[in-house]
């Protein structure tokens, strides 16, 4: 097939149509993609941040069964929200979502606001989440740019990684959204990024955008942002062995929170070493950090006791 290459940044309808056609035929069928309820979509986007979409989809239905509306979540204790968030990680997102629910109830009458700037002002809602909700829930022609979308647009439209500065990339993302299917496009371009346009060893040969992608045509999908390829500096290609997961602070924090989740409501749980590879000083540091972040309460007289926050 002979295809003329569009200039960088230009909208190529054929590329966009190819991605949409692929998505409609074989895109991931995730539970939360079937809803148009703004609250349910906001919950799904909060869950999908830094979490695999399939894993978030599994938890999404359970969470909504307990908190079907913003009012229900706003009225819940932090402890109840953290229990419902189990298995998703990055637990501060759960508390931020609860704060967003409170803002929705008291500032927007219990309805997720359709205005992009109002969405941006909700606690824990950044530029990507606000635009994703605006496109998916309200059909607005705005481009939601996450790491997957960033790769696709830089490569397909700009010709390679790092082709656009962030402000330029947002302009390109907005311009590429089809007016009649902003929600479909949001999911489609994310799926192409996750399935084909990977950070390393992208699957260009199988990608539905292959014939119109500037990077695939030029062979620059893995060229560095400087246009000369990734340069090997001192120590390039040499990796320190990763610490065992049970030795990581993230693992420890997760295990402590799971212990608190398993305790009866409002009951104090005793956190004693060893926990994984962690001793008492490590437990103390983790508990102090969880308390500072509002994810746990410490007993006023016994530092070994903790519980999920009640308010």
Domain ranges of the chain: 13-28+143-199+208-218, 31-138, 246-307
Q: For the chain, give the mean pLDDT.
A: 88
Residues 6+ apart with CB under 8 A from 241: none
Give, as one character, the DSSP assignment of residue 278.
B
The share of the chain scoring above pLDDT 90, in percent, equals 72
Q: Which pLDDT score is estimated for 237?
A: 35
Is the predicted pLDDT of residue 226 greater than 70, yes or no? no
Residue 223's pLDDT is 63
Q: In which band, very low, low, confident or very high, does the pLDDT at 145 lie, cut at 50, 70 and 90?
A: very high
Instruction: Count the Cβ atoms, other than its own, within 10 Å of residue 141.
Output: 16
Instruction: Identify the pLDDT of residue 249.
Output: 87
pLDDT category at 309 given cuts 50, 70, 90 is: very high
245-251 long-range contacts (CB < 8 A, ≥24 apart) are: 246/276, 246/277, 247/276, 247/277, 247/278, 249/282, 249/285, 249/286, 250/89, 251/276
Query: Does 24 score more than 80 pLDDT?
Result: yes
pLDDT digits (tens, 9 = 90+) for 157-197: 999 988 999 999 999 999 999 999 999 999 999 999 999 99
Of 300 and 27, which is predicted with more confidence? Answer: 300
- What is residue 27's predicted lDDT score, i.e. its pLDDT? 85
What is the assigned CATH class of domain 13-28+143-199+208-218? mainly alpha
The answer to which of 28-32, 184-188, 259-263, 294-298 has the lowest mean pLDDT is: 28-32
Confidence of residue 229 (pLDDT cuts 50, 70, 90): very low
- Is pLDDT at 42 greater than 80 in this prediction? yes
Task: For 231-248, write each residue's pLDDT tens digit.
Answer: 333 333 333 344 456 778
The token pair that represents 243 in the structure block: 């610490």
Q: What is the pLDDT of residues 273-303, one digit of tens each?
A: 888 888 899 999 999 999 999 999 999 999 8
How would DSSP label each residue in 129-187? Answer: HHHHHHHHHH--------HHHHHHHHHHTTSSTT-S-HHHHHHHHHHHS-TT-HHHHHH
Torsional class of 224: left (φ above 0), alpha (ψ -120 to 50), beta (otherwise): beta
Domain 31-138 has CATH 1.10.340.30: yes
What amino acid positions are annotated as catalytic residues?
45
Beta-carbon neighbour count of residue 307 at 10 Å? 19
pLDDT computed for residue 224 by the predictor: 52
Q: Determine which helix (DSSP H) or strand (DSSP E) holds 298, and give its type and residue range.
A: strand 297-298
pTM: predicted TM-score of the whole model, two decimal places = 0.85
pLDDT value, residue 11: 64
pLDDT computed for residue 302 by the predictor:
92
Q: What is the pLDDT of residue 269?
A: 96
**Contact (CB, 8 A) for 135 and 178:** no
Reported as type and span, the H/E element at residue 297 is strand 297-298
């Amino acid at each position: 097939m002979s295809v003329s290459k569009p200039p960088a940044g230009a909208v190529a309808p054929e590329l966009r149509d190819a991605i949409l056609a692929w998505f409609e035929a074989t895109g991931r069928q995730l539970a939360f993609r079937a809803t148009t309820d703004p609250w349910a979509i906001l919950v799904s986007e909060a869950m999908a941040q830094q979490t695999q979409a399939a894993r978030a989809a599994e938890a999404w239905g359970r969470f909504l069964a307990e908190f079907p509306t913003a009012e229900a979540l706003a009225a819940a204790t932090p402890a109840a929200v953290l229990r419902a968030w189990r298995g998703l990680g990055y637990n501060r997102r759960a508390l931020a979502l609860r704060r967003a629910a409170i803002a929705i109830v008291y500032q927007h009458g219990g309805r997720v606001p359709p205005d992009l700037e109002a969405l941006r002002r909700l606690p824990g809602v950044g530029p990507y989440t606000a635009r994703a909700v605006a496109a998916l829930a309200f059909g607005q022609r705005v481009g939601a740019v996450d790491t997957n979308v960033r790769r696709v647009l830089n490569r397909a439209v700009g010709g390679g990684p790092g082709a656009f500065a962030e402000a330029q990339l947002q302009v390109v993302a907005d311009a590429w959204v089809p007016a009649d299917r902003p929600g479909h496009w949001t999911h489609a371009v994310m799926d192409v990024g996750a399935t084909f346009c990977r950070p390393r060893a992208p699957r260009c040969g199988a990608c539905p955008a292959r014939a119109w992608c500037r990077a695939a045509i030029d062979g620059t999908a893995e060229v560095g942002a400087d246009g000369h390829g990734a340069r090997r500096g001192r120590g390039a290609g040499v990796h320190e062995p990763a610490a065992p997961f049970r030795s990581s602070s993230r693992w420890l924090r997760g295990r402590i929170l799971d212990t608190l989740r398993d305790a009866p409501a409002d009951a104090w749980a005793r956190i004693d070493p060893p926990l994984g590879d962690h001793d008492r000083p490590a437990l103390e540091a983790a508990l102090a950090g969880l308390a500072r972040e509002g994810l746990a309460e410490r007993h006023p007289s016994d530092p070994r006791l903790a519980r999920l926050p009640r308010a």
